[in-house]
Amino acid sequence: MRRPGRALLALGLAVGLPAGALSGCGVLPPLPEPVPSDIVPTAPPVALSPAAGGDALSPDGFDAVERMAVRIRNVGCEELSTGSGFAIDDHTLITNKHVVADSRDLEVSTYDGHDIQVGATATAALADLAVVRTTDPLPSYPELAETDPGPGDPVTVVGYPAGGELTVTEGQVMGSTRDPLNANLGEVLLTDAPVEPGSSGSAALDDKGRVIGVVYAKTADDNSLLVPLSTLQDMLADDTAFTPAKGC
Amino acid sequence: MTEAPVIATPGPAPAPGPRRGARWLAVLLVATIAVGGYLWVTTVRWQHNAAQWEQKARAYAEEVASLRMQLDAAGTELQAARDQLRTATARITDLANEKAQLGDENVASQQVLDYQTQVSAAAGTVASALGQCVSGQEQLVGYLKEADQYRADDLRRYEDEVNALCDEAEQANEALQQELRP
């Protein structure tokens, strides 16, 4: 006599096994997953970066190197001269001693023409450097570099050549030399960055915008001379290095 | 009547060939139908799934196109704003320079004015001294015309005073002329 159970079992196996087994083994394609309602990632895919061509943010569109430069008008008793300077903190300017010499009044203005009220002025005996304290806050100031630059290092000079427009010039450090003017103790830096009378007191910056020296003279072959950063730091660290400037 | 006993003699076993083959054929047919059904369902599901993905992709593509247009417009506006900012900063630099130059001219003019004021004052002083010299000399001439009425040493002392006054006026005048000389 035939047993129906065996036939049913065979049928079940015939129906269930092939699809399930073949699907599970990857021979047959599986059923698709349901389409998600939203596939937009919740987290930003990549960190946002400044758009191409975007420079460092500035409150008014001027570079930081321009914002820290100042123009100095030295009103003497009989004559008028101009020079440059730069901020090193909120109320302190660095410039050359010869820029503020024989002064009856110093008038300081910023990159955007604002006048800055000046307080005390002090000059160094052993370098062509001067410190001018201001009562008004200065808009910006750079960092000082860690060491003096070496030959071939890039240099950027920001100042007011010939008392004219704020100008940024670039060049390279050529090396160090004895001061031909004997205005500074020790060696000074020689660069090929163009400067003019009126650039005296300009900040010389490295490629990171840090101060590496102070322009104080121009040579006969159109190179520029800098008071090196190390001299500036030594003078600033010495409480007795600067004495009140004498007016005319 | 007695029934004759039925004696079942075992006959030969049924031949497995045709019936068993038919059974396996049936199983194979059912399996084939099952697999075919599965494939049909899978195909329908994938088609439906693909249609949904395509619909979603087209929606996102439209959104991307719209965002690209917005990005282009924003980029254009940003460039225009950058140009305006560059122009504005250049103008501010120009104005700051103009202000500085005017300040220089103002200071220089004031210094010239102060110098001229000093020169004018000096010229006035020199003129006054020269005038006193002339007056003194006129007075001396008058005294000398009536010399017999005065003591000789008084006249000499007055003459010395007038000469000293005139010398000082002359030196001041000479210094002024030298200062005025270009």
pLDDT tens per residue, range B3-49: 555 555 555 555 556 788 899 999 999 999 999 999 999 999 999 99
How far apart are alpha carbons A60 and A69 in whole angstroms? 15
Q: Do A51 and B78 touch (CB under 8 A)?
A: yes
Choose the weakest-confidence range: A138-142, A182-186, B65-69, B147-151. Answer: A182-186
Identify the helix (H) or strand (E) that includes residue B5.
Answer: none
Q: Considering the entire predicted model, what is its pTM?
A: 0.74
The interface predicted TM-score (ipTM) is: 0.80
How far apart are alpha carbons A30 and A85 in whole angstroms? 76
Q: State which amino acid sits at residue B51.
A: A
Confidence of residue A175 (pLDDT cuts 50, 70, 90): very high
From the candidate CATH numbers 3.20.20.80, 3.40.50.970, 2.60.40.10, 2.40.10.10, the one assigned to the domain spanning A64-140+238-244: 2.40.10.10
Task: Tell me which residue in B31, B89, B107 faces A73 most closely, judged by beta carbons.
Answer: B107
pLDDT in tens, B101-134: 999 999 999 999 998 999 999 999 999 999 999 9
Query: Contact, A233 vs A213, CB < 8 A?
Result: no
Fold match flag (A64-140+238-244 vs A154-233): yes
Decide if A156 touches B, using CB distance below 8 A: no
Phi-psi region of B144 (alpha: psi -120 to 50; beta: other; left: phi over 0): alpha
- The correct answer on CATH 2.40.10.10 for the domain covering A154-233 is yes
Task: Please list every residue in chain B whose beta carbon sits closer than 8 Å to the beta carbon of residue A45.
Answer: none
Identify the helix (H) or strand (E) that includes residue B144.
Answer: helix B17-145
Q: Do B34 and A166 touch (CB under 8 A)?
A: no
Q: Which residue has the tokens 């003129």?
A: B127
- Which whole-number Å values give the CA distances from A64 to A105, A173, A207, A214, A228, in the listed order? 28, 22, 13, 17, 21
**DSSP for B79-141, written as a single string:** HHHHHHHHHHHHHHHHHHHHHHHHHHHHHHHHHHHHHHHHHHHHHHHHHHHHHHHHHHHHHHH
Decide if B95 touches A, using CB distance below 8 A: yes
Q: How many CB atoms within 10 Å of residue B94? A: 12
pLDDT in tens, A50-63: 554 445 568 888 99
Note the helical H segments in A33-96: 64-67
Question: Angle, to 10 degrees, between the axis of helix B17-145 and the axis of helix B152-180?
Answer: 160
Phi, psi of B49 (to 5 degrees): -60, -45
Tokens encoding A44: 């930003």
Query: Contact, A231 vs A184, CB < 8 A?
Result: yes
B11 or B169, which is more confident? B169
Query: Contact, A204 vs A212, CB < 8 A?
Result: yes
Q: For chain A, which residues make up each domain, given as ranges?
A: 64-140+238-244, 154-233
Q: Do B31 and A164 touch (CB under 8 A)?
A: no
Phi, psi of A95 (to 5 degrees): -150, -165
Residues, chain B? 182
Q: For chain B, which residues make up each domain, given as ranges?
A: 32-180
Query: Contact, A98 vs A129, CB < 8 A?
Result: no
